C-alpha cells in the first residue's frame, strides 16, 4: 500500500469515528406550548388634530379624529391601517378585556367553574355612585362566575372586575400582576396594568396595537365565551343594563368587543366585525364622544372591508419545496404548510411568495418538524408568513452510509 492510499484510509477511519458521535443538530416534531371605568364628563379641551394614518392602500387611510386608532386583520394579525398605534394611552374600561380574558381562560382550564360563587368584599362593592360603572353586586353578597363575566363584559362593572380579581388572586394588586404577565405572553409591549377596572392611574396604559392583539386572543382563544361580547343587555339584582357598544344595535356583522370612557381616556371602543368570511378588528382611543367612537369605528370598518380582501397564497396539502437533509436514509424531505394559510391584501394586488429553508438540516427529521418558512408579499411589502413543516419522517442513515456521506461532503462530490 502506497503512502497516499494509507493516508486516505486513515482519513476514512477518522471520519467514520466522527460519524458515530451524536449529530450536532436534529429536528423533532414541535411540541405545543402549552370599560367603562367611570362615566365622567368629557374633557373640556378641544380634541387634538387627527393623526395621519398609515396604510398600504393607494389614496391613504381615512382621517379619524381620535388620538390613536388601528385596523387589524383577525386571521393574520396584520395591521392594515393605523395612527399612533404604539403610543401608551389610558385605556379606561378596555382594561376589562384582559380581566374577562383571564377569567375565560381559567374557565377553559378548569381552574374556575361557571357556577362557582364569588363573594363581594367592601373593596369590590359599588357604593351607588353615578360616576362609576357597576353591576350592583350586594355588599358581602355572592354571584356566579358566569354572571360575573357578563357583568364585566356587558355592564362593564367595576364591582364585578374587582370581585373576580380578589377571588382569583387574593387582591386586585396581585391580579394586576397576572394581567401584566399575560400581556407579556401575548406580546403586548406597550401596556402596563395597575388595576382590573381601568380606573385612572398614571401608570395604567395600553396602546392601540396591544388592545387589538388582546381582542384577537379573546376571539381566537375564548370561542366558548366570545358570544357574550355580542349580548345587548344583562339583568342582575333586578337591574337591567344595556351594552354600550352602539354598533351591536345597528350593524349585524359586529359581534364585540368593549367600550371605555374616563376623562383622561376620552371615549374608546374596540370592535370586531365579520363580513363575507373576513374578520376585522378596530381600536379607537381617545375620541370626543360616544357617538364619535361609534361613527369612527363604522367608518374604519366600512373602509377596511371595501379596500382589502383575503387571499390564499398557497393551497393546503401542497409541497412547496424539498429540503435537503444530511445523514438521512433519503437526501430530501418535502416541505409544505402545516395548516391553511390566508393573508389580507389591498383589493386587486397580486401576492408573491418566497421560500426560506433552514440550512444544514440533519436526520432524524420527524414529520411536522419546522423546516423553514414561506413569506408572502404584495407590492413589494411583506404581508404574512407561514411555517413550512416536514411532510414525512426521515430516519438517520446507518453507519456505513453516514461514513460515505461524510467522505463525499468532504471531497465535494
What's the Cα-to-Cα distance from 207 to each of 12, 39, 235, rounded to whole Å? 61, 21, 32
User: Which residues, in sequence order, are CB contacts of 174 under 8 Å at separation 6+?
Assistant: 165
Q: Is 324 a catalytic residue?
A: no
Distance of alpha carbon 99 from alpha carbon 93, whole angstroms: 10
Annotated catalytic residue: which of 76, 100, 156, 377?
156
- For residue 173, what is its C-alpha cell? 394588586
Q: Is 96 a catalytic residue?
A: yes
Distance of alpha carbon 351 from alpha carbon 403, whole angstroms: 44
Annotated catalytic residue: which of 35, 96, 162, 258?
96
Distance between first and last Cα of the chain: 25
Distance of alpha carbon 3 from alpha carbon 323, whole angstroms: 40
User: Which residues, in sequence order, are CB contacts of 172 under 8 Å at separation 6+?
Assistant: 123, 162, 165, 166, 195, 196
- For residue 226, what is its C-alpha cell? 366570545
Longest pairwise C-alpha distance within the chain: 102
Annotated catalytic residue: which of 76, 93, 133, 272?
93
User: So which residues are the catalytic ones?
Assistant: 93, 96, 156
Amino acid at each position: 500500500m502506497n503512502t497516499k492510499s494509507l493516508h486516505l484510509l486513515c482519513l476514512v477511519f477518522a471520519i467514520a469515528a466522527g460519524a458515530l458521535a451524536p449529530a450536532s443538530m436534529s429536528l423533532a416534531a414541535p411540541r405545543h406550548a402549552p370599560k367603562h371605568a367611570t362615566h365622567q364628563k368629557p374633557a373640556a379641551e378641544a380634541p387634538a388634530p387627527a393623526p395621519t394614518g398609515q396604510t398600504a392602500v393607494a389614496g391613504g387611510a381615512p382621517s379619524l379624529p381620535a388620538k390613536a386608532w388601528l385596523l387589524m386583520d383577525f386571521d393574520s394579525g396584520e395591521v392594515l391601517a393605523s395612527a399612533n398605534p404604539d403610543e401608551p394611552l389610558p385605556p379606561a374600561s378596555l382594561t376589562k378585556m384582559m380581566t374577562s380574558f383571564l377569567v375565560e381562560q381559567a374557565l377553559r382550564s378548569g381552574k374556575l367553574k361557571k357556577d362557582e360563587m364569588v363573594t363581594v368584599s367592601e373593596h369590590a362593592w359599588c357604593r351607588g355612585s353615578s360616576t362609576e360603572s357597576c353591576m350592583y353586586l350586594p355588599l358581602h353578597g355572592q354571584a356566579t362566575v358566569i354572571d360575573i363575566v357578563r357583568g364585566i363584559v356587558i355592564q362593564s362593572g367595576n364591582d364585578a372586575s374587582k370581585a373576580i380579581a380578589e377571588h382569583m388572586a387574593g387582591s386586585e394588586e396581585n391580579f394586576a400582576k397576572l394581567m401584566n404577565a399575560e400581556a407579556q405572553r401575548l406580546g403586548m409591549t406597550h401596556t402596563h396594568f395597575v388595576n382590573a377596572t381601568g380606573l385612572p392611574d398614571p401608570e395604567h396604559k395600553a396602546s392601540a396595537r396591544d388592545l387589538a392583539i388582546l381582542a384577537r386572543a379573546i376571539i381566537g382563544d375564548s370561542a366558548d365565551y366570545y358570544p357574550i361580547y355580542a349580548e345587548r343587555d344583562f339583568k342582575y339584582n333586578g337591574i337591567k343594563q344595556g351594552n354600550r357598544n352602539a354598533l351591536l344595535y345597528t350593524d349585524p356583522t359586529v359581534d364585540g368587543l368593549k367600550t371605555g370612557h374616563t376623562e383622561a381616556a376620552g371615549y374608546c371602543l374596540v370592535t370586531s366585525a365579520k363580513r363575507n368570511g373576513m374578520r376585522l378588528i378596530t381600536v379607537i382611543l381617545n375620541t370626543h364622544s360616544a357617538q364619535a367612537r361609534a361613527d369612527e369605528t363604522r367608518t374604519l370598518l366600512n373602509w377596511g372591508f371595501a379596500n382589502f380582501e383575503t387571499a390564499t397564497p398557497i393551497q393546503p396539502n401542497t409541497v412547496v419545496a424539498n429540503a435537503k437533509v444530511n445523514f438521512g436514509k433519503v437526501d430530501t424531505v418535502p416541505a409544505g404548510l402545516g395548516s391553511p394559510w390566508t393573508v389580507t391584501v389591498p383589493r386587486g394586488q397580486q401576492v408573491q411568495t418566497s421560500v426560506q429553508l433552514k440550512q444544514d438540516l440533519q436526520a432524524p427529521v420527524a414529520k411536522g418538524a419546522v423546516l423553514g418558512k414561506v413569506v408572502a408579499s404584495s407590492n413589494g411589502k411583506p404581508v404574512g408568513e407561514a411555517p413550512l413543516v416536514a411532510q414525512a419522517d426521515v430516519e438517520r442513515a446507518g453507519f456505513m452510509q453516514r461514513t460515505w456521506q461524510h467522505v463525499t461532503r468532504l471531497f465535494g462530490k
